[in-house]
Amino acid sequence: MSTPHNSAEKGDIAKTVLMPGDPLRAKFIAEKYLENPVCFNEVRGMLGFTGTYQGKRVSVMGHGMGIPSIAIYTYELFNFYDVENIIRIGSAGALQDNVNLSDIVIAMSATTDSNYAEQFGIPGHFAPTADFGLLEKAVAAARKINAPFHVGSINCSDTFYRNDDVSEKLKDMGILCAEMESAALYCNAAKAHKHALAIVTISDHIFRDEVMSPEERRTSFTQMMEIALDVAVQIS
């Protein structure tokens, strides 16, 4: 059963899917870590692969940039392909002084300026939140490899280039970093009664002149990848 965005058939995709924004990062992970990876999707260049890691079946697929893109791909995985767990492995811009380039942030919650959750008709504001079981396993995995990590709230924005001082306000509220996808992932998981977690690596700092190149973002986030794979093995 294919969709307009995914040529996979049922059974082609594992119960646990790792999702970077960049489809070339998905290809890198599949080639570097998975045994016998098979490409299940090339539609719109959004590459997806299934293979095994430490004997466990795992898939990895790109989700693109922004809430509309990740919302489509994760909705289909949860609702059409029987996926149970999605772990976003992306990049983010640091907001706090003690969050540095290459640090890992495990997103407990995702505050957002998006109105994506309005479709669910909940009065007030829905709080997009990680699955605690996945979060707990990711923290243990990060400690096991002595990775520099932080756990807390992140900001998920519809806007990449901002013309206001909202970053200062987010910093003041203790938000660790900013990205553009995790809130939709958490909303879709909640609605589908599935499990989701976002793990991001700091690729730039919003208040300092520090930024990684696209190639560095594609190939140097290995600690984050290994943490996500560790979690995948535990739940597969």
What does the pLDDT look like over 66-102, one tens digit per residue? 999 999 999 999 999 999 999 999 999 999 999 999 9
In sequence order, what are the beta bridge partners of 210?
205
Q: How far apart are CA 236 and CA 234, in angstroms?
A: 6
pLDDT for 150 beyond 90: yes
- Residue 81's alpha-carbon distances to 13, 87, 90, 198, in angstroms, are 7, 16, 22, 20
Q: How far apart are CA 236 and CA 231, in angstroms?
A: 9
pLDDT for 236 beyond 90: no
Residue among 187, 170, 174 nearest 67 (CA): 187
Under CATH, which number does the domain 16-235 receive? 3.40.50.1580
pLDDT-derived band at 219 (thresholds 50, 70, 90) equals confident
What does the pLDDT look like over 152-195, one tens digit per residue? 999 999 988 877 789 999 999 999 999 999 999 999 999 999 99
- Helices 67-80, 182-192: axis angle to 10 degrees equals 20
In sequence order, what are the beta bridge partners of 53?
56
pLDDT for 226 beyond 80: yes
Q: Stretch 212-224: mean pLDDT, rounded?
A: 85
- Residue 32: DSSP 8-state: H
Q: Stretch 137-153: mean pLDDT, rounded?
A: 98
Predicted TM-score of the model (pTM) = 0.96
pLDDT for 140 beyond 80: yes
* Predicted local distance difference test score (pLDDT) of residue 218: 74
β-pairing verdict for 195-205 and 85-94: parallel
For 138, the 3-state DSSP assignment is helix
Q: pLDDT over 90 for what percent of the chain? A: 92
* Predicted local distance difference test score (pLDDT) of residue 84: 98
Q: How far apart are CA 126 and CA 141, in angstroms?
A: 29
Quick check: 17 and 61 in contact, CB under 8 A? yes
* Predicted local distance difference test score (pLDDT) of residue 165: 84
Of 103, 113, 204, 209, the active-site residue reads 204
pLDDT-derived band at 217 (thresholds 50, 70, 90) equals confident
* Predicted local distance difference test score (pLDDT) of residue 204: 96
Other Cβ atoms less than 10 A from the Cβ of 145: the count is: 12
pLDDT for 32 beyond 80: yes
For the chain, the 3-state helix, strand and coil shares in percent, each to the nearest 5, are 35, 30, 35
pLDDT for 214 beyond 90: no
How many residues in total does the chain contain? 236
Q: Stretch 55-63: mean pLDDT, rounded?
A: 98
> Does residue 204 carry a catalytic annotation?
yes
Q: Copy the structure tokens of residue 119.
A: 């479709």
